[in-house]
């Protein structure tokens, strides 16, 4: 049975509220970290780079949607929330000093946040009919690029001038591996959800799109 998808698919209210709240708190915490670096635990950790990059990343989907898609597509709230979470949790983790007090927190963040970003890209760019191979390919292609880009940015932002550079090679290999594992988990989770009929309206739905049920 096939139906023509409606142009607008309202996301659950909780997803919308979490996305908006996450963006607001992200901007607030970044402003606080810039004004009072010692409170944000971002001294020597690329605070300015984060203050520029994170809002840019967190607001990319809204800007793209507003400029090119808003007249003919629903807003992809879930994908946007996943992107917001990656920025918000990193700043929050620094704010409450989890990176320096919880030995496994940095590893968890590389696994989780790379996976969440890969999940967002899958939801935004692949049809629900995509096979497991294509889903894994998209997740790993994006995830590997994002993980390498992050490590390069991290190195030039603060590790190159830190005592951590002595162990940076080993740490980088571990971070890359965890990021790729996160991407694989994200791809498997989304593909499984699609096969079970879930997440059918999480990406922009264009007028005339045919959804198989």
Listed by start position, the domains of the chain span 2-212
CA distance 199 to 137: 19
Work out the mean pLDDT of the chain and round it to a whole number: 82
Residue range 7-21, pLDDT digits in tens:
455 678 899 999 999
Residue range 104-132, pLDDT digits in tens:
999 999 999 999 999 999 999 998 889 99
Mean pLDDT over 32-49 rounds to: 74
Residue range 55-72, pLDDT digits in tens:
999 999 999 999 988 887
Q: What is residue 15's predicted lDDT score, i.e. its pLDDT? A: 92
Q: What is residue 118's predicted lDDT score, i.e. its pLDDT? A: 96
Q: Is the per-residue pLDDT at 188 higher than 90? A: yes
Are 74 and 9 spatial neighbours (Cβ–Cβ below 8 Å)? yes
Q: Is the per-residue pLDDT at 210 higher than 80? A: no
Residue (of 18, 21, 98, 86) closest to 50 by Cα position: 86
Read off the pLDDT band of 162 (50, 70, 90).
Answer: low
Tokens, residue 22: 């996450």
Number of helices (H), then strands (E), in the chain: 9, 2
Q: What is residue 213's predicted lDDT score, i.e. its pLDDT? A: 37
Mean pLDDT over 142-163 rounds to: 74
The pTM of the whole model exceeds 0.95 = no
Q: Is the per-residue pLDDT at 166 higher than 70? A: no
CA distance 75 to 130: 21
Mean pLDDT over 173-200 rounds to: 90
Residue (of 63, 67, 61, 93) closest to 80 by Cα position: 61
Cα-based distances in Å from 34 to 12, 43, 50, 96: 34, 9, 10, 16
Residue (of 126, 119, 178, 188) closest to 150 by Cα position: 178
Are 38 and 169 spatial neighbours (Cβ–Cβ below 8 Å)? no
CA distance 81 to 93: 18
Mean pLDDT over 30-49 rounds to: 75
Read off the pLDDT band of 133 (50, 70, 90).
Answer: very high
DSSP state string for 30-96: HHHHHH-HHHHT-TTTTHHHHHHHHHHHHTHHHHHIIIIITTTB---HHHHHHHHHHHHHHHHHHHT
Residue (of 107, 81, 79, 91) closest to 180 by Cα position: 107
């Amino acid at each position: 049975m096939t139906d023509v998808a409606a142009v607008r698919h309202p996301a659950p209210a909780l997803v919308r509220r979490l996305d908006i709240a996450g963006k607001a708190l992200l901007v607030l915490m970044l402003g606080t970290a810039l004004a009072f670096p010692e409170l944000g635990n971002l001294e020597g950790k690329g605070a300015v780079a984060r203050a520029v990059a994170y809002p840019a990343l967190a607001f990319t989907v809204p800007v793209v949607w507003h400029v090119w898609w808003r007249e003919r597509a629903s807003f992809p709230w879930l994908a946007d929330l996943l992107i917001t979470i990656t920025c918000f949790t990193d700043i929050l983790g620094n704010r409450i000093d989890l990176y320096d007090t919880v030995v496994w927190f940095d590893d968890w963040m590389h696994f989780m946040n790379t996976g969440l970003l890969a999940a967002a890209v899958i939801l935004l760019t692949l049809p629900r009919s995509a096979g497991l191979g294509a889903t894994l390919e998209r997740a790993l292609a994006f995830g590997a690029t994002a993980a390498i880009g992050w490590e390069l940015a991290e190195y030039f932002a603060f590790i190159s001038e830190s005592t951590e550079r002595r162990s940076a090679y080993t740490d980088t290999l571990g971070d890359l591996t965890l990021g790729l594992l996160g991407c694989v988990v994200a791809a498997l989770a989304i593909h499984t959800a699609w096969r079970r009929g879930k997440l059918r309206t999480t990406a922009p739905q264009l007028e005339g799109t045919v959804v198989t049920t």
